[in-house]
Structure 1
Amino acid sequence: MPTHPSSHIQQAREELAGRLREIRKDAGISGRELAARCGWSESKSSRIENAKAPPSDADIKAWCRACAADDQVPDLIAANRQSADAHVQWRRLQRSGLRRLQESTGDLYQQTKAFRVYVSDVIPGFLQTPGYAAALLSSIADFRETPDDVSDAVAARMRRNAVLSNGARRFSFVLEESVLRYRPCSVETMAAQLGHLLGVMDLHNVAVGIVPFSTQWIMWPMPTFTIFDTTRVHADTLDAAVPLTQPTQVELYARAFDRLSQGAARGAAARSLIAGALASLN
Structure 2
Amino acid sequence: MPLSPSSSAHEARAALAARLRELRLDAGITSKELAARCGWSVAKPSRIENAHTAPSDADIRAWCTACDVEKQAPDLIAANRQADQMYVQWRRLQRAGLRRLQEAAAPLYERTRVFRTYASNVVPGYLQTPAYATALLGTIAGFRGTPDDVSEAVTARMRRSRVVREGDHRFAVLIEEHVLNHRLGDADVMSGQLGNLLACMTLPAVSLGIVPENAAREGVVWPLEAFTIFDDTQVNVELLAARVRVTEPSEIELYEEAFAQFTRLAVYGAEARALILRAIEALG
Give me the whole-angstrom Cα distance separating, in 1, the residues matched to 2:248 and 2:228. 15
Report the alpha carbon displacement of residue 250 of structure 1 after superposing the two structures with TM.
1.2
Aligned equivalent of 1:147:
147
Give me the whole-angstrom Cα distance separating, in 2, the residues matched to 1:79 and 1:234. 19
Aligned residue for 1:171, secondary structure, equals: strand
Corresponding pairs, count:
247
In the TM superposition, what whole-angstrom CA distance separates every residue of 1:28-69 from its partner, at most 9, and x where no partner exists?
A: xxx5x653547998538746413345498xx9xxxxxxxxxx
In the TM superposition, what whole-angstrom CA distance separates every residue of 1:129-182 from its partner, at most 9, and x where no partner exists?
A: 000000011001000000111000000000000011125111000000001100
Aligned equivalent of 1:195:
195
Report the alpha carbon displacement of residue 226 of structure 1 after superposing the two structures with TM.
0.6
Aligned equivalent of 2:114:
114
1:62-77 aligned within 5 A: none
Give yes or no for the alignment of 1:35 onto 2:35: no
Give me the whole-angstrom Cα distance separating, in 1, the residues matched to 2:16 and 2:86. 20
Give me the whole-angstrom Cα distance separating, in 2, the residues matched to 1:205 and 1:223. 24
Aligned residue for 1:259, secondary structure, equals: helix
Give me the whole-angstrom Cα distance separating, in 2, the residues matched to 1:166 and 1:34. 50
For residues 249 and 82 of structure 1, do their structure 2 counterparts lie closer, same or farther at Cα, with a shift above 3 Å needed?
farther
One-letter amino acid of the structure 1 residue matched with residue 85 of structure 2: A
Report the alpha carbon displacement of residue 83 of structure 1 after superposing the two structures with TM.
2.5
For residues 50 and 123 of structure 1, do their structure 2 counterparts lie closer, same or farther at Cα, with a shift above 3 Å needed?
same
Aligned equivalent of 1:264:
266
Instruction: Name stretches of at least 5 consecutive residues in structure 2 with no aligned partner.
Output: 36-44, 61-77
Conserved 8 A contact 1:226-1:235: yes
Conserved 8 A contact 2:180-2:279: yes
Conserved 8 A contact 2:88-2:243: no
Give me the whole-angstrom Cα distance separating, in 1, the residues matched to 2:245 and 2:110. 17
With normalisation by structure 1, the TM-score equals 0.77
Aligned equivalent of 2:63:
none
Aligned equivalent of 1:230:
232
Conserved 8 A contact 2:86-2:246: no
RMSD between aligned residues? 3.1
The more displaced of 249-258 and 199-208 is 249-258
Report the alpha carbon displacement of residue 88 of structure 1 after superposing the two structures with TM.
8.2
Give yes or no for the alignment of 1:244 onto 2:255: no
Give me the whole-angstrom Cα distance separating, in 2, the residues matched to 1:81 and 1:162. 29
Aligned equivalent of 2:212:
212
Instruction: Name stretches of at least 5 consecutive residues in structure 1 with no aligned partner.
Output: 1-7, 25-30, 60-76
Conserved 8 A contact 1:177-1:213: yes
Aligned residue for 1:158, secondary structure, equals: helix
For residues 276 and 89 of structure 1, do their structure 2 counterparts lie closer, same or farther at Cα, with a shift above 3 Å needed?
closer
Report the alpha carbon displacement of residue 219 of structure 1 after superposing the two structures with TM.
2.4
With normalisation by structure 2, the TM-score equals 0.77
Give me the whole-angstrom Cα distance separating, in 1, the residues matched to 2:204 and 2:276. 19
Over 6 Å off, 4+ runs? 38-41, 77-80
Aligned equivalent of 1:132:
132
One-letter amino acid of the structure 1 residue matched with residue 198 of structure 2: L
Aligned equivalent of 1:84:
85
Give me the whole-angstrom Cα distance separating, in 2, the residues matched to 1:40 and 1:191. 67
Conserved 8 A contact 1:180-1:274: yes
Conserved 8 A contact 1:224-1:235: yes
Aligned equivalent of 1:69:
none
For residues 53 and 181 of structure 1, do their structure 2 counterparts lie closer, same or farther at Cα, with a shift above 3 Å needed?
closer
Alignment match of 1:280 (pick from 258, 279, 282): 282
Aligned residue for 2:171, secondary structure, equals: strand
Conserved 8 A contact 2:85-2:245: no
In the TM superposition, what whole-angstrom CA distance separates every residue of 1:5-33 from its partner, at most 9, and x where no partner exists?
A: xxx98x97665444566x78xxxxxx5x6
Aligned residue for 2:235, secondary structure, equals: strand
| Matched-pair identity in % | 44
